[in-house]
Amino acid sequence: MFIDFPEVSGVISLSAETIKLPEVRRVRQLFCNDSIENIEAHLEERLRRQLAGGPSLRGRRICITAGSRGIPHFPLILRTVCRCLKELGAEPFIIPAMGSHGGATAEGQKQILTDYGITEEAMGAPVCSSMEVVQYGILPDGTPLYCDRLAAQADGIVLMNKVKPHTDFRGPHESGLAKMIAIGIAKHKGATAFHAIGFRRFAEMIPAAAEIFLKTFPVVCGIGIVQNAYDEISELEVAGKDGIMDLDRRLLEHARASMARFKFQETDVLVIDEIGKEISGYGQDPNVTGRANGRAPGFSEIFKADRMFIRGLTAGTHHNGAGLAEADVTTRACLRQVDFGPTWTNLITSGVIEGCKIPMYADNDLEALKLTIACCCNKDPETLRLVRIRNTMALHEIEVSRGLYEAIKDDPEIQPVSDYYSLPFDAAGNLPVFG
């Protein structure tokens, strides 16, 4: 469901015609860049070590979970897992394990994996997508627990997922292997049932669901992945069934410490060029921006932007505009990119429908930025603190205004990359993607 939003230029000009834009300069933020050089060899060694002493996998159909989050070298990782299992005589297959993403359809979820390069031909193993589930348990409060039917019927399950801080709650297990169990592999029906609990209880209920799952199904192992601030893999570890929860907890601590964030705590204007589901579950990561769906507690102290302007969506988000509601201003072009059917399905499933709201918009980037500045507290181009980023995973090089640079220039982890320049708007009043 796409909406053709009307032009609004006559309205915007009244508010923004006197606004002058600040010059900006490119700066580099320095983060720890530890990463794994040989992903294939690293993973193969850990898989072989973990599986060597276990029961024979010969002739057993093994299900491997693949989520919707963007992961560096994702096809290589999955292909390596498939190859190692086949060498042990197993018959691996891959399932999309992504809750309600992909429009909550089997075809939509398989297409997400296809766009990542995860196909039967590339993996050397079938990619099987279904939204059918089986109920395997129930939580003490009566919440039913579901598992993908294909996974439930397999002879073994390999749980694999990126581990990172969640966008809506805090706890010892957030986005990772335990959440893959509670929500990802539960498909749309299970994700909807679990989200009815409410995010405030996720920290308690996600591990409870995971423990029941691990007692019920023949889990072969868990594979946890952590990315560093430069979008490279810094942790890639394998644990047996009994060690999965401890691995999930430990990797979350690593992920929280290694993720990219701003080296400053507040700004007047934050400009984000693109948001998307492969970047964060909420399009833009509240662990960076401080803006979570429904203003969830525990995020606003991370970072504060007086006003936020979101310019567009990534191609990889498949028109899912989750997270756009946190913008104060966007553009008509950005709103016309949103497919509100899958977006609302995703947000309704989460139970926090504040994320379905539509922000104020302008007809192009120039008018939108002027409107954003016009509606913030500081409008002086010499002192205005403005920061522009491509997305919340790309924070090593950013654009900052003179007012912000003067406030952060003494930080040894901030390095200037260019002199000051005017933002490069084209004749239509739009900016190229920052990069």
Domain CATH for 142? 3.40.50.11440
Say if residue 394's pLDDT is above 90. yes
1 domain-assigned: no
Same domain? 20 vs 98: no
Q: Give pLDDT, residue 286.
A: 92
386 domain-assigned: yes
205 domain-assigned: yes
2 domain-assigned: no
Same domain? 217 vs 352: no
- Quote the number of domains for the chain: 2
Q: Give pLDDT, residue 406.
A: 97
Q: What does DSSP say about strands 133-138 and 304-310: parallel, antiparallel, or unpaired?
A: unpaired
H/E stretch holding 65 reads: strand 61-66
Same domain? 292 vs 370: yes
Strand order in the sheet with 233-239: 91-96, 61-66, 156-162, 219-227, 233-239
Q: What are the pLDDT digits (tens) for 161-209? A: 999 999 888 899 999 999 999 999 999 999 999 999 988 899 999 999 9
Outline where DSSP puts E strands in 186-288: 219-227, 233-239, 266-272
Give percent of the chain above pLDDT 70: 98
421-433 mean pLDDT: 96
With cut-offs at 50, 70 and 90, classify the pLDDT of residue 11: low
Say if residue 129's pLDDT is above 80. yes
Say if residue 222's pLDDT is above 60. yes
Q: What is the DSSP letter of 84?
A: H
With cut-offs at 50, 70 and 90, classify the pLDDT of residue 15: low
Task: Round the average pLDDT of the chain to a whole number and report it.
Answer: 94
CA distance 160 to 158: 6
Q: What are the pLDDT digits (tens) for 266-325? A: 999 999 999 998 888 899 999 999 998 877 777 888 899 999 999 999 998 989 999 999
Is 196 in contact with 143 (CB distance < 8 Å)? yes
Same domain? 16 vs 45: no
CA distance 399 to 388: 5
Last residue of a domain, one of 238, 258, 278: 258
Same domain? 146 vs 267: no
122-141 mean pLDDT: 97
3-state SS class at 225 = strand
433 domain-assigned: no
Same domain? 65 vs 90: yes
19 domain-assigned: yes
Same domain? 282 vs 402: yes
With cut-offs at 50, 70 and 90, classify the pLDDT of residue 100: confident
Q: Give pLDDT, residue 82.
A: 98
Q: Would you state the structure tokens that stand for residue 97, as one six-digit string?
A: 């394990």
CA distance 11 to 235: 50
Same domain? 249 vs 387: no
Same domain? 23 vs 67: no
Q: Of 220-229, 298-307, 333-342, give the lowest mean pLDDT range.
A: 298-307
0.75 cut: is pTM over it? yes
Say if residue 24's pLDDT is above 90. yes
98-121 mean pLDDT: 92
Say if residue 18's pLDDT is above 80. yes
318 domain-assigned: yes
Q: Would you state the structure tokens that stand for residue 143, as one six-digit string?
A: 């919440």
Q: Give pLDDT, residue 14.
A: 57
50 domain-assigned: yes
Is 137 in contact with 129 (CB distance < 8 Å)? no
Last residue of a domain, one of 209, 226, 258: 258
Q: Give pLDDT, residue 296.
A: 72
Last residue of a domain, one of 258, 288, 307: 258
Q: Of 7-16, 81-90, 256-265, 296-305, give the lowest mean pLDDT range.
A: 7-16
Same domain? 193 vs 273: no
Same domain? 143 vs 97: yes
Same domain? 165 vs 69: yes
Q: What are the pLDDT digits (tens) for 30-73? A: 999 999 999 999 999 999 999 988 899 999 999 999 998 789 99
Q: Give pLDDT, residue 70.
A: 80
What residue numbers bound the domain in which 389 lies? Answer: 9-31+261-416
